[in-house]
């Protein structure tokens, strides 16, 4: 599952948990209303810590992720400011937390879906897929398929026969980029694999030089 999808699922799950508590747990609504200041403060701090950790650990580079992180920081800082700068606000939030949660959930869902649609449209216009990867030209794809003879090019060592064997799978084959650069569509960087061995290649279960040799048809190791 992609990270944007995970974020959307988390938002929906949190909203669902809140509404279940509101409907079925006696006193939950009053407790959430009376403790709205503490809950919003914790939420804002968690958001800020999440953004800071992701920025330090992953060094966010894509424009869409920078935009999302900026929006999250603005929301978190605004929550902290308005909660403690306007004394009446926590009481109002406590009395109206249900429509507030509904509105915030709807805005988040619509915003994420809108970003995905915009990215998809931009990607289509630039010849890229939903992950920002350029499409493999049809001519190159045909050459890869022809070179592989419609069969998975993964090799494995047979202990019974004491030799290297080639996978026999011919269904649902996929093209793998050996150097993990999905915009490099040179023939030497492409190999035809079934879904299971595609995952193996992604997890570095074979060395790059082995994959290149297998892609060229050298199945001796």
Task: Give the range of the structural domain holding residue 89, as residue numbers without chain letter.
Answer: 3-125
Q: Is 212 left (phi over 0), alpha (psi -120 to 50) or beta?
A: alpha
DSSP collapsed to 3 states, 123-163: HHHCCECCCCCECCCHHHHHHHHHHHCCCCCCEEEECCCCE
Regarding whether 208 and 184 lie in a shared domain, the answer is yes
Question: Long-range contact list for 90-93, CB < 8 A, 24+ apart?
Answer: 90/36, 90/37, 93/36, 93/37, 93/40
Regarding whether 118 and 195 lie in a shared domain, the answer is no
Q: In terms of residues, how long is the chain? A: 221
Please tell me the predicted confidence (pLDDT) of residue 161.
Answer: 83
Regarding whether 19 and 69 lie in a shared domain, the answer is yes
Write b or e for each residue in 62-83: b if 16 or more Cβ atoms lie within 10 A of its Cβ, otherwise e.
eeeeeebbeebbebbeebeeeb
Please tell me the predicted confidence (pLDDT) of residue 52.
Answer: 73
pTM of the model: 0.43
How far apart CA 27 and CA 39 sit, in angstroms, is 16
| Distances in whole angstroms, Cα of residue 109 to Cα of each of 6, 93, 149, 169 | 12, 21, 45, 40
Q: pLDDT 10s digit of each residue in the chain, 221 long?
A: 444 455 556 666 776 776 676 667 767 667 766 776 777 777 777 777 777 766 665 554 455 566 666 777 777 777 777 777 776 666 676 667 667 767 777 777 777 677 777 766 665 555 555 555 677 888 898 899 999 998 999 998 888 888 889 998 888 889 999 988 888 889 999 999 999 999 999 888 888 899 999 998 886 65
Is there a contact between 101 and 12 (Cβ–Cβ < 8 Å)?
no
Number of structural domains the chain divides into: 2
Regarding whether 104 and 17 lie in a shared domain, the answer is yes
Regarding whether 103 and 27 lie in a shared domain, the answer is yes
Please tell me the predicted confidence (pLDDT) of residue 65.
Answer: 61
Strands (E), the chain: 155-158, 163-166, 174-177, 190-193
Please tell me the predicted confidence (pLDDT) of residue 122.
Answer: 62
Regarding whether 111 and 198 lie in a shared domain, the answer is no
Regarding whether 107 and 7 lie in a shared domain, the answer is yes
Please tell me the predicted confidence (pLDDT) of residue 61.
Answer: 47
In a domain, 130, yes or no: no
For tokens 């419609």, what's the residue?
150
Regarding whether 212 and 112 lie in a shared domain, the answer is no
């Amino acid at each position: 599952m992609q990270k944007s999808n995970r974020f959307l699922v988390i938002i929906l799950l949190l909203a669902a948990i809140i509404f279940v508590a509101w409907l079925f747990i006696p006193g939950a609504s009053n407790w959430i209303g009376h403790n709205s200041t503490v809950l919003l403060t914790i939420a804002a701090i968690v958001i800020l810590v999440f953004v800071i950790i992701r920025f330090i650990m992953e060094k966010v580079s894509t424009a869409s992720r920078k935009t999302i992180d900026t929006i999250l920081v603005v929301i978190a800082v605004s929550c902290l400011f308005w909660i403690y700068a306007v004394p009446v606000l926590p009481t109002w939030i406590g009395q109206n937390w249900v429509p507030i949660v509904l509105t915030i959930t709807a805005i988040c869902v619509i915003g994420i879906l809108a970003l995905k649609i915009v990215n998809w449209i931009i990607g289509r216009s630039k010849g890229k897929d939903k992950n920002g990867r350029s499409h493999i030209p049809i001519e190159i794809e045909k050459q890869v398929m022809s070179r592989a003879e419609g069969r998975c090019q993964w090799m494995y060592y047979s202990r019974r026969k004491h030799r290297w064997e080639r996978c026999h799978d011919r269904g649902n084959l996929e093209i793998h980029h050996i150097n993990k650069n999905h915009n490099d569509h040179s023939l030497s960087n492409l190999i035809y694999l079934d879904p299971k061995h595609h995952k193996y290649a992604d997890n570095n279960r074979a060395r790059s030089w082995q994959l290149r040799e297998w892609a060229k048809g050298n199945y001796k190791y």
